Amino acid sequence: MEIKVVKNILGANDQIAGKNRQLFDSNQVFVVNVMASPGAGKTSVIMETIKRLKGKTRVGVVEGDISSSLDAEAIGKEDVPVVQINTGGECHLDASMTASALGDVPLNDIDLLLIENVGNLVCPAEFRIGEDIRILIASTPEGDDKPFKYPLMFHEADVVLINKIDLLPYLKFDVNAFTQAIRGINQKVKIFPVSCTTGEGIEEWVSWLLGRMGKK
């Protein structure tokens, strides 16, 4: 019985995600769902990505947070359109919350929409929002055991950014073991080690993203 209820919720979500998808397609907008635990660096990665895309593609951002507009204010300084969704307690974005923000996003004037999901490594993986790709930001201070603890998240991701690699000298984080653990769950995933502090790896990630947008 319980399983049936969950399936119905996800079925309804997928229908709305499909409508979001149609809207994105009709405006030729490529959409990235940015997922991570709190503090992994979603906002920093989004800001670094925007900086490197200036003059190459037109970017918009949707910021999902349980409350506050702090991240949206930070991103607004990059001079891109940004819309805040406060989920009011919900620990993930779903397709209808996303749909409710889209009226305020100038879809006609952008090519790429970065949607920052709520910081959480569990349920964001279960809710499609109409995105083209899902990226997971895993930061080195969180430890290299995350793929074992949150396998669905790693299974559902198209890209994993291993963030804060500038901190590796101070941490017991084995990049090879982490990469192997991810590959054990998801063979197709692209993995980019990055640092928003030093800029290392960001260029590689951004060129891959531009290539992926072009292939759509």
Find the part of the chain contacting Zn ion (CB under 5 A) among 27-35, 86-94, 132-140, 160-168. Answer: 86-94
CB 124 within 8 A of CB 66: no
Backbone angles phi, psi at 40, to 5 degrees: -75, -20
Binding part of the chain for Zn ion, among 2-10, 65-73, 116-124, 186-194 by CB under 5 A, reads 116-124
Q: Please work out the total of residues on this chain that contact Mg ion, with binding judged by CB under 5 A.
A: 3
CB of 202 to Mg ion, least distance (A): 17
Position closest to Mg ion via CB: 43
Distance (Å, rounded) from C-alpha 126 to C-alpha 156?
Answer: 9
Whole-Å CA distances, 14 to 23, 94, 106, 128: 14, 9, 23, 6
What are 191's two structure tokens? Answer: 């993995």
Contact 177, 208 (CB under 8 A): no
Q: Does 131 bind Mg ion (CB under 5 A)?
A: no
Which DSSP string do the residues of 55-110 spell out, in sequence order?
A: TTS-EEEEEEESS--HHHHHHHTTSS-EEEEE-TT-SS--HHHHHHHHTTS-GGG-
How do 190-193 and 82-86 pair as beta strands? unpaired
Exactly one of 91, 149, 180, 203 binds Zn ion (CB under 5 A); which one? Answer: 91
Q: Which does 42 bind (CB under 5 to 8 A by kind): Mg ion, Zn ion, none?
A: Mg ion
Of 55, 33, 57, 56, whose CA–CA distance to 45 is shortest?
33
To Mg ion, the closest distance from the beta carbon of 71 in angstroms equals 4
Q: Which of the listed partners (Mg ion, Zn ion, none) does 92 bind, with a CB threshold of 5 to 8 Å by partner kind?
A: Zn ion
Binding segment for Mg ion (CB under 5 A), chosen from 66-74, 76-84, 105-113, 161-169, is: 66-74
Which listed residue (10, 23, 74, 123) binds Zn ion by CB under 5 A?
123
Interface mask (CB under 5 A) for Mg ion, residues 68-87, using x and -? ---x----------------
Nearer to Mg ion, 98 or 186 (CB): 98
Question: By three-state DSSP, how is residue 123 classified?
Answer: helix
Nearer to Zn ion, 51 or 149 (CB): 149
Residues that bind Mg ion (CB under 5 A): 42-43, 71
Residues that bind Zn ion (CB under 5 A): 91-92, 123
